[in-house]
């Protein structure tokens, strides 16, 4: 066992109302059943008469039930199941005796209560384990005290404390009261990996039953006595602002309480990128029901005007910067021309190894290809929404947010309340994908509730959601490769940029594998707001790079996996440069695994196969995608994925997430785009914005995890970026046509 210093405080829970003590019954083992035939058999166990708080992550009932608080926002990555699994394993409790609750935002107790950067598990791995191990130790100490025996002789297994020599034994529930009085140990023993009994085993989603029976779970489901519904009208185009409005007829409509304009932030408000909104002044329509406010909004008579250029002071993780949002109404056709123009000039050199100019001059073959991708809307199925109840001295917020911790200061400042008077609770969230990192809607609803002195739920319509901004940026890249007379890759040059950010990761593979390497980038300002979208920047550059390597392999007459393995061998044995940020051995490991699992070497088996591999969020993913032609239409038959993300907590749920990444990546590369005409997005709902549908998903997806003892790394994002390359490469095999510009469907309609 590994001894580890504890950092667990004893601060009390925020009292939770959903678990009243005494006398209640609830079905719980339903979800823990592994065998299908047991699913319908609902065990009912009485709730404890009393709960004892052991630490900020768990409380134990007098009957041995354990409630574990899951600290992080649940956006579909399944942390509400996997985080408590980690606590439960170290606590040594049977998973069927565990109840899970969402923890509120509590920056004293928890760290990184953020659903971002694929970091939920990795950043809390130690603290979750410590929470469980500390409680286990305190239970042991309570038993040692009660039985007057040395604590070292007591074992704790599956919720039971035993002292073999004396024959004493007790359940956790029996010792919970005494354990809650024990001082928090300064050091605890964590389990070895071989001792895990819950981590690494598949457990069902703890919210599964509520989901399939339609119980209230999501932000949009929040109902409160006296609650009003608000909806917002924002400018129809980026580069516009509110001039004036006439709400007389809207105010006369049934159920409408008020219509007013609202300024979100004062001009001197020091915001971060996570607070920003393109539309700082909006019209609020407030009423009794959702349909009524949506109808009344249509009756508003609004005059919009062109907005001036603005320069906004922003802080990003401690860095102060000025971000410029130019005036004007932008168009997608101009965007593309501008990006091509910038990419034709010299960019900012971010990394240069060796002498790439000479290598290109001496090359016997030079390959040059350009790639692009459009703006995308996140389109979480649950549109942006939030609930707030603000009184004179307190603000309660409840709803879907990926960044409660980062939004709290902005809300407190906007309301003029001390930060400790702002309480934020997360609901389950109908998708995140990065969109809910940007919580302006929380500030909006808090300001509305404060103004009207009532509990308010703010609801964005799909059109509001899709036309509000925070899009995935648009990108462009050109890759060049130099081959010598023996078809060796002697130099690689990438020049890339985007609106408004560059997708370049200059120190990632294939940097470090080539003597001559040049990476340049550029950016273009825009008033269209953008933000992180599942695997930011990687979600474009991975597909471009991996498509390009496929062409390099073809030109060199090499197998595309072998070409990558050769480069990785070089990076492992004799790396170029010192800033390479990937582990070449683990990178090669996933390629070897996908090669084996896809039976790559046994030939194409009648399939048109494309391969791709990428590293991001500290994890490695390789994918092989198989396409069969059916009546001249390419159909994705199978995707084989190999992942190295260290220890996997909940394998079946991790597989589900990886499958989702595959479908999501194929969908966005093939079908999706936001385009602009005179500043206005041309797609505002799913009639014009294409998302992948059932019939377009792969017929089967197989996922394999590398088995190792490395602490967990990211999983939500890494399977998403590389599949776009595998798709493009397989499409080429199937149709003879290379794809360079997303969405591929606009280049030529290929997928059935």
Partner 1 sequence: MATFNLKINGETKEIDVDPSTPMLWVLRDHIKLVGTKYGCGIAQCGACTIHLGDNAVRSCQLPVSAVGEQEITTIEGLSENGDHPVQKAWLEIDVPQCGYCQAGQIMTASALLKRNPHPSDTEIETAMNGNICRCGTYTRIKTAVKTAAES
Range list of H helices, 104-230: 120-147, 172-179, 208-212
- Identify the residue whose tokens are 């923890």: 103
C-beta closer to partner 1: residue 346 or 694: 694
**Shortest CB 166 distance to partner 1, Å:** 43
Pairing label, strands 160-163, 168-171: antiparallel
By CB under 8 A, residue 430 contacts partner 1: yes
- Binding residues among 63-102 for partner 1 as defined by CB under 8 A: 75-78
Residue 549 is encoded by which pair of tokens? Answer: 């390597």
Q: What is the dihedral of CA 635, 638, 643, 648, to 10 degrees?
A: 120
For partner 1, the closer CB: 92 or 464: 464
Neighbours of 504 (CB within 10 A): 24
Among 381, 525, 579, 711, binds partner 1 (CB under 8 A): 381
Among 107, 177, 181, 289, binds partner 1 (CB under 8 A): 289
User: What token pair was written down for 641?
Assistant: 């994925």
Is the separation of the CB atoms in 543 and 669 below 8 Å? yes
Instruction: Kindly tell me which of 44 and 419 has the beta carbon lying closer to partner 1.
Output: 44
Is 631 a binder of partner 1 (CB under 8 A)? no
Single residue of 9, 22, 150, 216 touching partner 1 by CB under 8 A? 216
Least Å distance, CB 217 to partner 1, is 7
CB nearer partner 1, residue 233 or residue 483? 233
Nearer to partner 1, 414 or 638 (CB): 638
Site for partner 1 in 229-288 (CB under 8 A): 229, 254
Residue located via tokens 């009994």: 197
540's enclosing H/E stretch is helix 538-556
Instruction: State the nearest-atom distance from the C-beta of 52 to partner 1, in Å.
Output: 31
Question: Interaction with partner 1 in 656-675: which residues (CB under 8 A)?
Answer: 656-657, 659-664, 667
Q: State the pairing for strand pair 676-677/633-644.
A: unpaired
Interface with partner 1 (CB under 8 A), residue total 71
Q: What is the number of other CB atoms lying within 10 angstroms of the CB of residue 357?
A: 13
Show contacts with partner 1 in window 683-712 (CB under 8 A): 685-687, 691-695, 697-701
Q: Which of 107, 166, 181, 215 binds partner 1 (CB under 8 A)?
A: 215
CB 320 within 8 A of CB 313: yes
Q: What is the DSSP string of 675-714?
A: -EETTEES--STTTS----GGGS-SEEEEEE----PPP--
Per DSSP, what are the bridge partners of residue 390?
Answer: 395
Q: Site for partner 1 (CB under 8 A): which residue of 277, 429, 713, 735?
A: 429
Enter the tokens of residue 472: 């995935």
Six token digits for residue 393: 């001295």
Task: Kindly state the smallest distance separating residue 221's Cβ from partner 1, in Å.
Answer: 4
Exactly one of 96, 209, 365, 733 binds partner 1 (CB under 8 A); which one? 209
Per-residue contact flags (x/-) with partner 1 for residues 23 to 42, judged by CB under 8 A:
-------xx----x--xx-x
**Closest CB 79 distance from partner 1, rounded Å:** 11
Please return the burial class of 369, using the count of CB atoms within 10 Å of its CB with bins 0-12, 13-18 and 19+: middle
Least distance (Å) between residue 6 CB and partner 1:
34
What is the smallest separation between the CB atom of 256 and partner 1, expressed in angstroms? 12
CB distance 471 to 489 below 8 Å: no
Q: Report 188-207 residues binding partner 1 (CB under 8 A).
A: 202, 204-205, 207
Binders of partner 1 among 550-609, rule CB under 8 A? Answer: none
389 sits near partner 1 (criterion: CB under 8 A): no
Residue (232 or 242) nearer to partner 1, CB: 232
Least Å distance, CB 168 to partner 1, is: 40
Through-space distance between the first and last CA atoms of the chain, rounded to whole angstroms: 55
Tokens standing for residue 635: 């159909």
CB closer to partner 1, 516 vs 703: 703
Helix, coil or strand: residue 438: coil
Cα(732)–Cα(752) distance, integer angstroms: 15
| Residues 721-750 contacting partner 1, CB under 8 A | none
């Amino acid at each position: 066992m590994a001894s580890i210093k504890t950092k667990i405080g004893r601060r009390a829970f925020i009292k939770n109302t959903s678990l009243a003590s005494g006398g209640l019954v609830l079905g719980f083992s339903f979800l823990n059943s592994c065998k299908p035939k047991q699913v319908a058999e609902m065990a009912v166990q009485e709730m404890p008469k009393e709960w004892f708080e052991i630490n900020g992550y768990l409380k134990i009932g007098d009957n041995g039930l354990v409630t574990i608080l899951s600290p992080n926002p649940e956006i579909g990555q399944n942390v509400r199941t996997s985080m408590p699994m980690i606590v439960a394993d170290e606590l040594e409790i049977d998973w069927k005796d565990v109840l899970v609750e969402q923890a509120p935002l509590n920056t004293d107790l928890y760290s990184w209560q953020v659903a971002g950067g694929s970091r939920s598990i990795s950043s809390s791995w130690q603290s979750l384990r410590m929470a469980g191990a500390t409680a286990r130790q305190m239970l042991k100490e309570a038993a040692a005290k009660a039985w007057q025996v040395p604590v070292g002789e007591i074992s704790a297994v599956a919720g039971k404390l035993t002292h073999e020599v004396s024959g004493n034994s007790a359940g956790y529930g029996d010792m919970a009261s005494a354990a809650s009085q024990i001082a928090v140990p300064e050091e605890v023993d964590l389990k070895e990996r071989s001792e895990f009994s819950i981590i690494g085993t598949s457990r069902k989603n703890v919210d599964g039953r509520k989901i399939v029976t339609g119980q209230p779970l999501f932000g949009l489901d929040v109902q409160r006595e006296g609650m009003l519904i608000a909806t917002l009208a924002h400018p129809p185009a980026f580069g516009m602002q509110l001039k004036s409005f006439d709400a007389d007829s809207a105010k006369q409509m049934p159920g409408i309480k008020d219509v007013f304009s609202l300024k979100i932030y004062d001009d001197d408000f020091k915001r971060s990128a996570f607070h920003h909104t393109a539309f700082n002044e909006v019209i609020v329509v407030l009423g009794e029901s959702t349909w009524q406010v949506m109808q009344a909004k249509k009756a508003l008579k609004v005059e919009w005007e062109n907005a001036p250029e603005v320069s906004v002071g922003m802080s990003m993780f401690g860095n102060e910067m000025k971000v410029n949002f130019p005036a004007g109404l932008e168009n997608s056709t101009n965007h593309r021309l501008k990006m091509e123009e910038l990419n034709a000039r010299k960019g900012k050199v971010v990394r240069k190894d060796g002498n790439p100019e000479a290598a290109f001059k001496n090359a016997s073959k030079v390959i040059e290809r350009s790639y692009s991708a459009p703006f995308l809307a996140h389109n979480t199925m649950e549109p942006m929404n939030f609930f707030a109840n603000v009184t004179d001295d307190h603000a309660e917020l409840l709803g879907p947010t990926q960044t409660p911790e980062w939004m709290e200061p902005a809300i407190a400042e906007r309301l003029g309340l001390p930060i400790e008077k702002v309480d934020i609770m997360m609901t389950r969230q109908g998708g995140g994908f990065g969109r809910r990192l940007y919580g302006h809607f929380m500030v909006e609803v808090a300001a509305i509730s404060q103004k009207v002195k009532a509990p308010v739920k703010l609801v964005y319509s799909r059109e509001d959601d899709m036309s509000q901004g925070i899009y995935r940026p648009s990108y462009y890249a050109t890759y060049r490769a130099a081959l010598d007379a023996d078809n060796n890759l002697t130099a690689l040059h990438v020049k890339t940029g985007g609106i408004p950010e560059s997708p370049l990761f200059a120190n990632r593979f294939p940097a470090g594998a080539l003597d001559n390497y040049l990476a340049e980038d550029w950016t273009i300002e825009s008033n269209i707001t953008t933000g992180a979208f599942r695997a930011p920047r990687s979600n474009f550059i991975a597909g471009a790079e991996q498509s390009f390597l496929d062409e390099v392999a073809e030109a060199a007459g090499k197998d595309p996996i072998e070409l990558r393995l050769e480069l990785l061998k070089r990076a492992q044995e004799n790396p170029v440069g010192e800033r390479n940020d990937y582990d070449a051995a683990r990178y090669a490991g996933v390629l070897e695994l996908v090669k084996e699992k896809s039976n790559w070497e046994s030939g194409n088996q009648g399939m048109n196969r494309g391969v791709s591999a990428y590293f991001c969020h500290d994890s490695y993913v390789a994918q092989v995608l198989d396409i069969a032609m059916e009546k001249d239409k390419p159909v994705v038959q199978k995707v084989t994925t190999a992942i190295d993300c260290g220890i996997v907590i909940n394998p079946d749920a991790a597989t589900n997430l990886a499958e989702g990444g595959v479908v999501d990546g194929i969908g966005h590369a093939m079908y999706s785009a936001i385009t602009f005409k005179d500043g206005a997005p041309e797609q505002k709902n799913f009639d014009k914005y294409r998302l992948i549908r059932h019939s377009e998903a792969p017929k089967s997806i197989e996922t394999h995890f590398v088995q190792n003892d490395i602490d967990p790394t990211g999983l939500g994002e890494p399977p998403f970026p590389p599949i776009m390359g595998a798709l493009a490469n397989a499409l080429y095999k199937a149709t003879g046509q290379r794809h360079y510009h997303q969405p591929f469907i606009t280049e030529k309609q290929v997928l059935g």
